[in-house]
Amino acid sequence: MQAIVYTRNGDPDVLELTDRPVPEPGPGEVLVRVARSGVNPTDWKSRQSRPPEAGWQIPNQDGSGRIEAVGTGVDSVLVGERVWIWEAAWQRPWGTAAEYTVVPVRRTVLLQAGASYDVGAALGVPFLTAHRCLTVGETMPDRLDPGALTGREVLVQGGAGAVGNAAIQLARWADATVLATVSSPEKAQLAAAAGADHVINYREQDVVSEVRRIVPNGVDAIVEVAPFTNARIDAEVIGLHGAVAAYADGDGPDVTLPVRKLMILNVRWQFVLLYTEPAAAKAAAVEDVNAAVADGAVRVGDEAGLPLHLYPLDGTAQAHAAVQGGAVGKVLVAVADL
Ligand SMILES: NC(=O)c1ccc[n+]([C@@H]2O[C@H](COP(=O)([O-])OP(=O)(O)OC[C@H]3O[C@@H](n4cnc5c(N)ncnc54)[C@H](OP(=O)(O)O)[C@@H]3O)[C@@H](O)[C@H]2O)c1
C-alpha cells in the first residue's frame, strides 16, 4: 500500500510517499481502507515538533473509510461497514494518510447512511472539540440534541474556522441562538451559511456593544479560539454563570482576566484539549456528533460555510502546508473513492 510517512520533525517536505505492507489489525483493532484523511492544525504541529515514538509516523488523526478486517476480540460483523475515525494517530504511529490503517475499534464510528466520506473525515477533531466547548459550562447540558440548548445564547469567536464552523452547526442543531465573530464579509457569509443567527465582523464592529445589543444579559457560553486577544471582550459579554471555553493558544500564551468582573458573575473559564478531556465527555461527544450526522445536521462544503479543499495522497505535504497557511474551510486528502 501507499502511505505518507515521516521519520523526523520538520516542514511539510519531511512527509514522504512510501510503499509498505498492508498492516494486520491487532487485538481490539480494525483494518480500515481509507477514503478520506482529514487535516487539522494538530497534524502539522505534531509533524513539526512531536518526535515519532515508533521511529516513524503516518500523519493525520481524522479520517473515513471502510472496515476491511478485524483483529481478535472485534466482531467480524463490522467488516464492510463505513466508518469515521477519530484520534487515529494519538500515541500511535498509524494515522490516516495511507491507503490502509489500523485503528482501535473504539476510535471508529459507523458512518450514517447518506453521510459522505467527506463529512466523515471532517468530524473528529473539530466537532469533538466543539462539543466539549459547548457542554463544559455549569449551565450547559452535558449532552447535545435538538432542544438541548433552547433558550441559550452561544458566542462562537472565529465562526469561519473549522472548529468555529462545527460549534455553529452543533449549537444550531441543539437549538441555541448563535452569535459568531469573523474578520471579513467573505467569512461572514461562511458563518451565516453554517447557521449563525448573528454574525459580527470584529474588524469593523464593536463586538461588545453588538453582542450586548442582541443579548442584553450576556451569553451563556463562548467558544474561544483567541483567548489572549479576546479575554477582555469575553469578560464584557459573558452572562451570569456563563462559561468561556478556550481551545487554542495561537494568539498568545498568557491570558489576563478581570477577576472581580468574572467573580461577580460566577463565570467559569475552561481550557479544552481534545486528547486529555475526560473519557466520559469524549464518549458523549462521539455519540452526539454521530446523532447530529444522522439528523442531517452536519454538512460540509460552501453551502455549509466549510469550503472543501481536496488533495491527492501524494499531495499530503501540500495539504499540511495549506492548513498551516490558514486555509479557510476543510482540507482533506482524497485517498480513494470507495
Ligand atoms: N484544544 C483542542 O483540542 C483543539 C482542537 C482543535 C483545534 N485546536 C486549535 O484551534 C486553533 C483553530 O483550529 P481550526 O482548525 O479551527 O483552525 P482554522 O480553521 O484556521 O480557524 C481558526 C479561526 O480563528 C479565527 N480567528 C483568529 N483570531 C481571531 C480573533 N481574534 N477573533 C476571532 N476569530 C479569530 C480565524 O479567522 P480570522 O483570523 O480571519 O479572524 C480562523 O477563522 C488551532 O490553533 C488548533 O491547533 C485545538
pLDDT tens for 122-144 read 999 999 999 999 999 999 999 99
User: Cell match 484520534: residue?
Assistant: 87
pLDDT of residue 323: 98
Report the predicted TM-score, pTM, of the whole model to 2 decimal places: 0.98
58-105 pLDDT tens trace: 999 999 999 999 999 999 999 999 999 999 999 999 999 999 999 999
pLDDT of residue 32: 99
In degrees, to the nearest 5, what angle opens at C-alpha 69 toward C-alphas 286 and 127?
A: 15
pLDDT of residue 220: 98
16-38 pLDDT tens trace: 999 999 999 999 999 999 999 99
Q: Distance between CA atoms of 120 and 257, rounded to whole angstroms?
A: 38
55 Cα to the center of ligand 1, angstroms: 30
Phi/psi of residue 19, nearest 5 degrees? -100, 130
pLDDT of residue 262: 98
166 Cα to the center of ligand 1, angstroms: 12
226 Cα to the center of ligand 1, angstroms: 7
β 82-85/29-39 pair status? unpaired
Neighbour count for residue 271 (Cβ, 10 Å): 13
In this structure, the chain runs to a length of 338
Atom of ligand 1 nearest to the CA of 275: 3
Neighbour count for residue 177 (Cβ, 10 Å): 20
Residue 120 in contact with residue 114, Cβ under 8 Å?
Answer: no
Q: Distance between CA atoms of 317 and 10, rounded to whole angstroms?
A: 11
Which grid coordinates are listed for 142?
A: 452535558
Atom of ligand 1 nearest to the CA of 249: 45
pLDDT of residue 266: 98
145 Cα to the center of ligand 1, angstroms: 25
**Cβ-based neighbours of 330, under 8 Å, separated by 6 or more:** 38, 118, 122, 126, 162, 300, 306, 307, 308, 309
Helix (H) or strand (E) holding 171: helix 162-173
**Cβ-based neighbours of 150, under 8 Å, separated by 6 or more:** 174, 175, 176
Nearest CA to ligand 1 atom 2: 273
